[in-house]
Structure 1
Amino acid sequence: MHVDGFLNPYYVDIVVFLFIYILLGLGLNLITGYAGQVSLGHAAFYGIGAYTSAILSVKGGMNVWLSIFLAIVITFVISALLGLPSLRIREDFLAITTLGLGLIAQSFFKNAEITGGAYGIGSIPAPSLFGMELTNGGYLLLVFLVMLLGIYGVKKMVASRIGRAWMVIREDETVAQAMGINTFYYKVLVFAIGGAYAGAGGALFAHKVSFVSADSFGTTISLTLLSMIVLGGLGSIRGTLFGVTFLYLVPEIFRIFEFDFMDMKNLDVYKMMIYGLLMIFVMRYRPKGIFGNLGKKVQLFPSSRASVKKEGERVA
């Protein structure tokens, strides 16, 4: 059924994919923004979630809801394994390694028999509730609720002991080890959780478009996501929401209004040019991003703040 206004399927799809990208951005910001582990292969986790749910529901005949749940769990486990290189390497070397892992994952998607090879997997069913398929507005509500749950989860994690441990590791891993923080556990954990967020986004993407192929999970996706969280601000939920929303909607605005001075056939080229110019601007004038929190000190013992102030000492 065609719905006018903001419930027009085209506009609904734009918002659905925006919410999915926000989930991806939240997961990447956990890994890179809060834990300081630079990842250029986040699209691999995205693809693992999408393909897992597609394979389970199409080839395995599994219930869609169960396939989505298992896709998140399986992506969690695989992401933890792929996060193991972060234990030995850091910074630039880690970025290159994760980029390589992303390329390997895309090659696997494109050539493996179980993933349908270059043909991908089609006829992926949509989830249903009480016998009714969730399409258009119903699917929008589902993705919106998952996104809210994801935001709530990040807020709780970064405010907990786990989040404080990640931020200490981000600032100085050697100091974290000296303080007794199990860096092995926390670094693998952040890759696993960040990957699970991407897996959830991938599963929701697969059941929305009903078709997945390797082209949907290339390196460009990883770089775009990194640009989004850097623009908004590393280590900031507000920054993720702003960066993802802004950079995702800019190309859509050009597509909707069809400006005469732009050739819409080259929209992807214009998009990357805009992303590049914005990144240069941010690095020059706002190196921590619009809402970046990297300049803030980590409060390891927030309860002692009052007593420290009374003694006239600087809060660390």
Structure 2
Amino acid sequence: MKVDVILNPYYVDIVVFLIIYILLGLGLNLITGYAGQVSLGHAAFFGIGAYSSAILSVKVDINPWMAIFLAIIITFIISAILGLPSLRVREDFLAITTLGMGLIIQSFFKNANITGGAYGIDSIPTPSLFGMKLENFSYLAVIFLAMLIGIYAVRKMTQSRIGRAWMVIREDDIVAQSMGINTTYYKVLVFAIGGAYAGAAGALFAHKVTFISADSFGFPISATILSMVVIGGLGSIRGTIFGVSLLYLLPELFRLFQFNFIDMKYLDMYKMMIYGLLMVLMMRYRPKGIFGKGEAKKVIVKSFRKGKAGKDGGHVA
């Protein structure tokens, strides 16, 4: 008997979508947690990846694997372009700017002919491997491998000179510039890489559900991912994994156990209320999140200078 038949598809789907949200969270944590660039439009990058892969595989008839790869590249480029406003605005103004961009992109998804308008895109093909369609557990295995690669890449980046530069920029733009850090380059780079993570998540999401519409990439998704990252811990990989797992699995517990005092019709409303309450509590008692790192500015600057000196002197930082 096949493994896909043995495992309950419902539970497998829960884990698959959990991993997709973890990829989304990793990308946003790079932008907001490590580089300090507040983004309220992360769902836009998610949608760009999903629609790019769907259009390429359905309308251009490109192999799903190639479509996913190209979708990541496309999202990387578009995210870099959309990250340009971060060079001129900061903090609250940047948050409002990214929110506006997210709403504009969602409106484009909803009205453009190439995206199927309000009807969306359906019949998105499922990827195959060695002639076998990846469904249920086999798709989970592939997406789990993608998550491990994504976590490893984030870890390597944040421990490198690039990651140290992002953290100096997060603490103080002026200090970063005085140290010779090209803030323009690093800000655009973090939006591009963070967007690429969201693009990968979007492409994998599209080929899993086989149908997408603009409603799947609105502001509530951006707010949800931001809540997960903030609660788990800014600038922390394990914080992202914990925050995403906690807030994603919590509503599933209500569905699983069917509590009598909960009206399941209003579960989405209850979910947003719980997220909001947790955000308020975290901002009051642990602003950096549960696993958030609170390095002092001097420590980060010293770490970057040490890494720079190691590179210039031919030593490993």
- The reply to whether residue 137 of structure 1 matches residue 141 of structure 2 is no
Question: After superposition, where does 1:247-262 map in structure 2 within 5 Å?
Answer: 247-262=247-262
- For residues 59 and 99 of structure 1, what CA distance do their matches in structure 2 show? 30
Equivalent position SS for 2:304: coil
> TM-score w.r.t. structure 2 length?
0.93
Match of 1:3 in 2: 5
Determine the structure 2 residue equivalent to 1:285.
Answer: 285
Q: 1:300 is paired with a residue of what secondary structure? A: helix
Amino acid paired to 1:91? E
Deviation at 1:302, TM superposition (A): 4.8
Query: Structure 1, residues 60-82: CA drift from partner, whole Å, max 9, x if none?
Result: 00001000000000000000000
Distance 2:305 2:258 in 1: 54
Q: What's the counterpart of residue 304 of structure 2?
A: 300
Residue 17 of structure 1 is matched in structure 2 by 17
SS of residue in 2 equivalent to 1:3: helix
Q: CA deviation at 1:250?
A: 0.2
Secondary structure in 1 matching 2:135: coil
Instruction: Give 1:266 deviation, angstroms.
Output: 0.5
CA distance in 2, matches of 1:124, 1:69: 15
3-state DSSP of counterpart to 1:110: helix
CA distance in 2, matches of 1:257, 1:29: 32
Which residue of 2 is the match for residue 49 of structure 1? 49
Distance 1:276 1:85 in 2: 27
Secondary structure of the 2:5 match is coil
Matched with 2:175 is 175
- Give the aligned CA root-mean-square deviation in angstroms: 1.4
Q: Deviations over 1:38-96 (max 9, x none)?
A: 00000000000000000000000000100000000000000000000000000000000
Residue in 2 that maps onto 1:116 = 116
Measured in 1, the distance between the counterparts of 2:209 and 2:60 equals 19
1:269 partner letter: M
C-alpha contact (below 8 Å) 2:161/2:307 kept by paired residues = no
Which residue does the alignment assign to 2:152?
152
Unaligned runs of 5+ in 2: 309-317
Identity %: 76
Paired residues, number: 303
Question: Compared with structure 1, are the counterparts of its residues 143 and 237 closer, same or farther at alpha carbon in structure 2 (3 Å cutoff)?
Answer: same
Q: Matched residues in 1 for 2:46 and 2:194: separation?
A: 10
| C-alpha deviation, 1:207, in angstroms | 0.1
The 5 A counterparts of 1:256-275 are 256-275=256-275
Structure 1 counterpart of 2:31: 31
TM-score (norm 1): 0.94
| CA distance in 2 between partners of 1:292 and 1:36 (Å) | 13
Deviations, residues 194-252 of structure 1 (Å, cap 9, x unaligned): 00000000000000000010000000000000000000110000110000000000001
8 Å CA contact 1:288–1:295 kept in 2: the answer is: no
Unmatched 5+ stretches in structure 1: 305-316
CA drift of 1:294 comes to: 3.1
* CA distance in 2: counterparts of 1:246 and 1:35, whole angstroms: 24
Aligned to 2:100: 100
